[in-house]
Structure 1
Amino acid sequence: MTEQLWNHGVKKLKPYIPGKSIEDVKKELGLTEIIRMASNENPYGPSPKAIAAAGEALMQTHLYPEPSNRELRGKLGELHKVDPDRILISNGADNVLLIIGQAFVNPGDEVVYCSPTFPVYRTSTVMMGGVPVEVPLTADHKFDLEAMLNHVTPKTKLIYICNPNNPTGTVVDSNQLRSFLQRVPKHVVVVLDEAYAEFISIEQYKSGIDYMNEGFPVISVRTFSKLYGLAAARVGYAIAPAELLQPMLAVREPFPVTRASDAAARAALEDVEYTNFILAENLKGMKFLSAELAKFGYETVESYANFIFVDTKEDVQPLYDGVMKEGFIIRPCTSFGYPHHFRLTIGTHEQNERFIAALHKVKAGKTTTI
């Protein structure tokens, strides 16, 4: 009887299954220390300046936040060289993606994206009565631009491109993406989910903002959760032409970001030395882990994010269970359709070395008995 009251779209949703929490694993296995390398979090945490700024802002928690995040948009405008009025701030990139669905998708509208990828694209589409059109990734785990174009119809409203893609860490070629955008029909909006864009180190790489400045009707979605280490603060943003932001601003809640989160984000942008340190350490960790994982016979996909997509060539579940008993949480990719793969977040140098040591124990059959 109760289900008869539900929104019809809710019945079609697949609940998002996040990686196990540190708290749950501690309780389940009786461990005192857990290192989570499953959720693509910044292992070094946020800039000390961001923490200090958030603490100071907490003294004004009795006041509502400034609703337009004017100062933060101003700093982002300077960083990206865009008009701050073309920026929308909300509580996390996933919320920005939900806002896009609310703003553009009508019942029956089609939304095209490749799969596997970030599941919010499907969720936001189904919630609004839209039709998800899922296209397989290419053989090298990238978004298949040509196949997506072939699936565009008069009913298509949105196209999502996760670049770099989650969970594979791959990017699409900039020239191919420009050619793709030139051929997308005018009735379709392209959303570039660039949550990991700051980690890309490709020479002359073009971002969604570059394409927007060239006049393409694209929306770039970014986050402070990854590079800036503010995952719990929930700060994400979109950069788009004014006509695309207008409906998004209409459905966005009035006070989406707390004063503390806004202050932390502003301070994080100012600490360029710290973000450069994070980028350098991530690159070193990527090289170390890729080389060590290869010694196990595992294959890794070239990644431009803060994680690695690893093919173990066998059922990944025993490996997942084994390293968890050693105090490490990784992300098995079975739910993404990859039963032999796992996604591994780049940790600190110490965490990376300890993970490889734990992996040796698991492969040697010397896993800790709980």
Structure 2
Amino acid sequence: MTRSTLWRQEVTKLEAYVPGKSIEEVQKQYGLSEITRLASNENPYGPSPKAIDAMNAAAADSHLYPEPTSAELRGKLGTLYGVDPSQVLVSNGADNVLMLIGQAYVNPGDEVVYCVPTFSVYRTSTVVMGGVPIEVPLTGDYKFDLDGMLAAVTERTKLIYLCNPNNPTGTIVDCAALEEFLKKVPPRVVVVLDEAYGEFIDVPSYKTGAEYVREGYPVISVHTFSKLYGLAAMRVGYAIANPDVLAPVLAVREPFPVSRMANSAAAASLDDTEYREFILRTNREGLAYLSEQLRQMNVGVNPSYSNFLFADLHRDAAPVVEALMKAGYIVRPCKSWGYPEHIRITVGSPDQNKGFIEALRTILEA
């Protein structure tokens, strides 16, 4: 008998998540002292100074369990989005929130609809609960096929996932089209709007998931402090939904999911609006610079509404990715998403962006 015979049957259908290469791994592999990681969509400037101060202050109370409901943070998020704090759930990162949603809603045989490629946790959270993933391909221009998703809805559909902006393509759903889509979704189906990169959308009057929640749609809007706010190591994510929609998610959430330091850092980040605007401005400038430089090298660039670019090298990306690592730059190859000629590039600081472009240009010319 092998140990695998003891596994839950659903686990045998899953593969472990494979993250982008770590800085430490590449340093050791190539003997480099300086590495720039543009693979994991991290904030190149780190957290707000106010968040760092808050973390340091909270560390002194690390012997005490955190306040279990993240009351202060939920209050600030409620003010930010115009919802009652009872409509906000805080947990250990957005991916944890997504797993909780699967645990709360998916029974064996239930169907969950989403487009591919997209964030892998949608499939994982479905399969591990015995659900059936219904995967609809993206359109030719890398956008969500809303009509195809609606056509895939059956009596067994329980959840629909929309990653907006989508990871790895950076595309968004047209606001008017999304509203029409939500009106056509049967009210018994919960739509999960994964807005991990939602703060980067730079479109006037674009509606957030919280607005659909306020209007009464059965929507769960999921966010993270890992991207815009630079708190990836702290693991803070949250969901916004009406209390009856959140109730089963709260029931399966662990008792103390967010540390004192993480709660304090997230709350302080929301207070630092000047830093937030700095990050958004430099990201827009970085997107524009990288897009223009890549196009000059005949690299296909998809319009992005996030903090990364989905770039078509028009050749096998693997040797280019390898050469970039040797030059000290880590990007994310997209072969696992079905795009072997694409890479995903995180927007870095101006110096990081410039250094990356120079390295890529040298590699492509060679």
Q: Report the TM-score when normalising by structure 2.
A: 0.99
Give 1:64's aligned residue. Answer: 65
SS at match of 1:231: coil
Give 1:247's aligned residue. Answer: 248
Q: Which amino acid aligns with 1:254?
A: P
Q: In 2, distance between residues paired with 1:335 and 1:43?
A: 25
Shift of 1:212: 1.2
Give 1:147's aligned residue. Answer: 148
Give 1:79's aligned residue. Answer: 80
Q: Which amino acid aligns with 2:197?
A: Y
Q: In 1, distance between residues paired with 2:109 and 2:174?
A: 31
Unaligned runs of 5+ in 2: none
Give 1:36's aligned residue. Answer: 37
Tell me the alpha carbon deviations over residues 67-100 of structure 1, each in whole angstroms, 9 at most, x when there is no partner.
Answer: 0000000010111110001100001000000000
Give 1:368's aligned residue. Answer: none
Give 2:24's aligned residue. Answer: 23
Q: In 1, distance between residues paired with 2:69 and 2:252?
A: 14
Q: In 2, distance between residues paired with 1:180 and 1:351?
A: 39
SS at match of 2:204: coil
Shift of 1:14: 2.2
Give 1:169's aligned residue. Answer: 170
Q: In 1, distance between residues paired with 2:221 and 2:269?
A: 20
Q: In 2, distance between residues paired with 1:299 and 1:212?
A: 36
Shift of 1:137: 0.4
* 2:93 corresponds to 1:121: no
Q: Which amino acid aligns with 2:192?
A: V
Q: Which amino acid aligns with 1:215?
A: G
Q: In 2, distance between residues paired with 1:187 and 1:97?
A: 19
Tell me the alpha carbon deviations over residues 172-213 of structure 1, each in whole angstroms, 9 at most, x when there is no partner.
Answer: 011111111111112210000000000001111111111111
Poorly superposed stretches of 4+, deviation over 6 Å: none
Q: In 2, distance between residues paired with 1:276 and 1:7?
A: 46
Structure 1 residues 326-341: aligned runs within 5 Å:
326-341=327-342
Give 2:46's aligned residue. Answer: 45
Q: Which amino acid aligns with 1:193?
A: D
Taking only the aligned residue pairs, the percentage that are identical comes to 61
Q: In 1, distance between residues paired with 2:296 and 2:324?
A: 17
Q: Which amino acid aligns with 1:296?
A: M
Shift of 1:140: 1.0
SS at match of 2:176: helix
Tell me the alpha carbon deviations over residues 303-334 of structure 1, each in whole angstroms, 9 at most, x when there is no partner.
Answer: 00000000111100111001110000000100
Structure 1 residues 1-370: aligned runs within 5 Å:
1=1, 2-365=3-366
Q: In 1, distance between residues paired with 2:10 and 2:208?
A: 33
Tell me the alpha carbon deviations over residues 267-288 of structure 1, each in whole angstroms, 9 at most, x when there is no partner.
Answer: 1000000010000000000000
SS at match of 1:310: strand
Q: In 1, distance between residues paired with 2:304 and 2:99?
A: 26
Q: Which amino acid aligns with 1:4?
A: T
SS at match of 1:192: strand
Q: In 2, distance between residues paired with 1:13 and 1:279?
A: 36
Shift of 1:364: 3.1
SS at match of 1:221: strand
RMSD: 0.6
Shift of 1:214: 1.2
Unaligned runs of 5+ in 1: 366-370
Q: In 2, distance between residues paired with 1:364 and 1:177?
A: 42
Q: Which amino acid aligns with 2:356?
A: F
SS at match of 1:88: strand
SS at match of 2:233: helix
SS at match of 1:363: helix
Shift of 1:294: 0.5
Q: In 1, distance between residues paired with 2:262 and 2:193?
A: 24
Q: In 2, distance between residues paired with 1:5 and 1:165?
A: 36
SS at match of 1:362: helix
Q: In 2, distance between residues paired with 1:253 and 1:55?
A: 25
